[in-house]
Structure 1
Amino acid sequence: MKTANLIMALLVVLSVQVFGQAKPDLKQLPNGVQYQIYTKGTAARIKLNDVITFNFTQKTDKDSVLFSSFASGKPVTIAVEPSKSISDLMYFFPMLGLKDSAFVKIPSDSLFKDGQMERPSFFPKGSTLQFVLKVENVQSMEAAMAERQKMMDVQAKAADSLKTNELRIMDAFVAENKLVVTQTPSGLRYLILTPSSKLKPAAGDTVEVNYIGRTLNGKTFDSSIEAEAKKAGLEQPGRNYEPISFVVGQGEVIPGWDEALLLMNEGSKGRFLIPSALAYGPKGAGQDIAPFSTLDFQVELVKVKPAKKVVATTKPAVAVKKTVSVKKVTPKTKSTVKKKVVTSKTK
């Protein structure tokens, strides 16, 4: 989100926590904004393109608190840009330095004068929007980018470690359960438990599937089969226990399922070990599926409904025939060639 848009959004939902109850000794800027700097240290002033992290609270002039990052524990980090409006505070940040704090009053009439934002009832004409700010960190753009890259490198290293650990766990699971599996280039491992020679689905076909989903520690997290769900103690109120239906190969299910169903035939049953890269990845899903979890699915392909094929009409062929005029051109060409050949033989 652009900085200006971020601040504009904050104006609607944010609020202020006042540092003290003393009546502020306010100064005024040319744009009508009033302010008081509570603390002003010896740190260098904030500059254009610096990346700053600050906490703030925001309220109306009736002390109605709209939001406080102090309370939420989530300070805002933005890059300082040239000011585009009175609402973005970019004109004010260069008056502060690291650990400085200030009180700012913005006339609400200046916020809503262009009609782009609807004036809420708690900002009547003549009222003000009030901020208390505290600068928590100031970095150059280069330092901020270097810090972000370092953080990303640490996260990538941690992710690689978790992926390696996931592979080790999957290998141990296969060995412990003496599974004879086939592995696809994507990392999906599978075995067909009940083969079938019936119709094989293609991308775009609708399939009906029964399944049991477990983690590698044996926890059943989902099933379309009522007996299996009850045995696992799953609470799925209102669910109809029947095969689920979806279009295969269209991203309606996790990627591992899209790949797995194309390996089956109608009436077949299979077991699929789906790595997290083809399932829920580094985020996991719910309480049962942790980040970087391989999933163990037993699947029955109950039915395949082929996608409807579009039948081509003969109208385009007729149009082409008229345009090319084959009947008129071909006889003349053959006749000319024949005469030349006969003449040649006569001589």
Structure 2
Amino acid sequence: MMKYILFVFALIFAIGANAQGVMQHTPKGALYQIYTQNTGEKIKDGDIITFQYIQKTDKDSVLYSTYASGHVGQARIQPSQNVADLMEIFPLLAVKDSVLVKVPTDSLFKGHDDKRPSFFPKGSNLNFIIKILKAQSMDAFMAEVKQAEITGANKYIADHKLNLQTTASGLKYVITQPSTKRKALKGDTLLVNYAGRGLDDKVFDSSIEVIAKGAGLQQPGRTYEPLRVVLGTDGIIAGWDEGLLLLNEGSKAIFVIPSNLAYGAQGQGADIKPFSTLVFDIELVKIKPVKHTAAPAAKTAAKKPVYKKKVTANKN
């Protein structure tokens, strides 16, 4: 924390020393000053950038800081849509550059002045102090993200001493309570109890009341009961659709589901970040089967009769 405070103090001191009379304008009206101009390649359209930033008012009140939150900013560079998206600024920078950006709040609240907070009076600015940490192509970014996900999942599996099987798609699972009852088939309606968690072991959802409340989940009005699932109807994530087909009624299992079989690059709400491997404790409580038509027997080619050539004696 002290390192963060000293960094902010040093950066604000630099702003005070350098910002007077040297700010430049972007076409959309933001003011900026680059403090450390590095000689590296400038950020390009399509790059994925990783950066630290602080948001402040004109009176130096900090509204948000990635240094304090522990979560860096990331963005894909594209043509600017408005003055606040900073897409006019990023292509002016190289990795390790720092910049002060002042975005006029009159532009932000144009036509919505009733929503202007008191700490942003007319004529004020929303200030950003930004430091670029990394710039990557989409391919390089995706490779890094996938490797980080694999590394995180492998660590979780090792730490929890899970002996898992892996399917061709990448789903990892172990059946913790076998059953000899019938197996689930596509089209069946299943009743499933579950608890879902991230690789940090934080529970984000559960159909079991004691687990949900023990994890501090706020789900007012929810009825805790097994989830009703119809297999093969696109109502569940792909990892569940595949994994439940491996289970018999009454069995329990652990699924470790990579993001490409879960919520992918979009994530889901605040608890499931993009590219998150998810862990589920699963109990297949009951199967309500539908009538499954038997697959038609394979047709076999009709045997051709074997004809023997009739030999007749030559009477001559």
Compute the TM-score of the two structures, normalised by the length of structure 1: 0.48
Matches within 5 A, 1:168-317: 170=176, 181-185=180-184, 272-277=250-255, 291-293=279-281, 295=283
> Pairwise mapping of residues 97-176 of structure 1 onto structure 2 (< 5 A)?
97-115=94-112, 118-151=115-148, 163-164=164-165, 170=176
Distance in structure 2 (CA, Å) of the matches to 1:41 and 1:292: 47
| Cα contact 1:57–1:67 (8 A) shared by 2 | yes
- Structure 1 portions without partners, runs of 5+: 1-15, 175-179, 187-201, 214-220, 235-243, 264-270, 284-289, 300-347
What fraction of aligned residue pairs are identical, expressed as a percent? 34
Q: Is the 8 A contact 2:52 2:67 kept in 1?
A: yes
Runs of 4 or more consecutive aligned structure 1 residues displaced over 3 Å after TM superposition? 114-117, 148-163, 165-169, 221-224, 244-251, 280-283, 290-297
User: Given that residues 49 and 141 in structure 1 are in contact (C-alpha distance below 8 angstroms), is that contact kept between their aligned partners in structure 2?
Assistant: yes
User: Which AA in structure 2 matches 1:127?
Assistant: S
Distance apart, 1:125 and its partner CA: 0.4
Match of 2:81 in 1: 84
Match of 1:267 in 2: none
Question: Aligned equivalents of 1:222 and 1:127: distance in 2?
Answer: 49
Alpha-carbon separation, structure 1, partners of 2:140 and 2:208: 50
CA apart distance, 1:88: 0.6
Q: Give, as a single letter, the amino acid of the residue that structure 1 aligns with 2:165.
A: T
- Residue 34 of structure 2 aligns to a residue in which SS? strand
Deviation at 1:169, TM superposition (A): 6.2
Distance 1:164 1:103 in 2: 51
Q: Answer yes or no: is the 8 Å Cα contact 1:108–1:128 preserved in 2.
A: yes
Residues 292-332 of structure 1 deviation map (CA, whole Å, 9 limit, x = unaligned): 545597x9xxxxxxxxxxxxxxxxxxxxxxxxxxxxxxxxx
Question: For residue 41 of structure 2, what is the amino acid of its counterpart?
Answer: A
The one of 73, 86, 97 aligned to 2:70: 73
**Residue 29 in 1 paired to residue 25 in 2?**
yes
* Shift of residue 248, structure 1, vs aligned partner: 5.6
Post-superposition CA distance 1:149-189 (Å, at most 9, x none): 4445657878997642986663xx65xxxxx7335146xxx
Q: Corresponding residue for 1:20?
A: 12
Cα pair distance change 1:223/1:128, threshold 3 Å: closer
CA distance in 2, matches of 1:144, 1:223: 38
CA distance in 1, matches of 2:133, 2:100: 15
Shift of 1:126: 0.7
**Residue aligning to 1:51:** 48
Partner of 2:107, secondary structure, is helix
CA distance in 1, matches of 2:23, 2:182: 71
Q: Which has the higher helix share?
A: 1
CA distance in 1: counterparts of 2:108 and 2:57, whole angstroms: 13
CA distance in 1, matches of 2:227, 2:92: 59
CA contact (8 A) 1:162 1:292 kept: no
Query: SS of 2:12's equivalent?
Result: coil
Q: Is the 8 A contact 1:281 1:293 kept in 2?
A: no
Q: Supply the distance in 2 between the matched residues of 1:106 and 1:42 (Cα, whole angstroms).
A: 26
- Cα offset, 1:101, TM superposition: 0.7
Q: Give the one of 86, 93, 100 matched to 2:90.
A: 93
1:108 deviates by 1.0
Per-residue displacement from partner, 1:125-163 (whole Å, max 9, x unpaired)?
A: 011111100001011223223333444565787899764
The structure having more radius of gyration, on CA atoms, is 1
Q: 1:55, 1:76 within 8 Å by CA — same for their partners in 2? A: yes
Give distance in 2, aligned partners of 1:86 and 1:134.
19
| Pair 1:61-2:53 in alignment | no
CA distance in 2, matches of 1:223, 1:153: 29
SS for the counterpart of 1:291 is strand
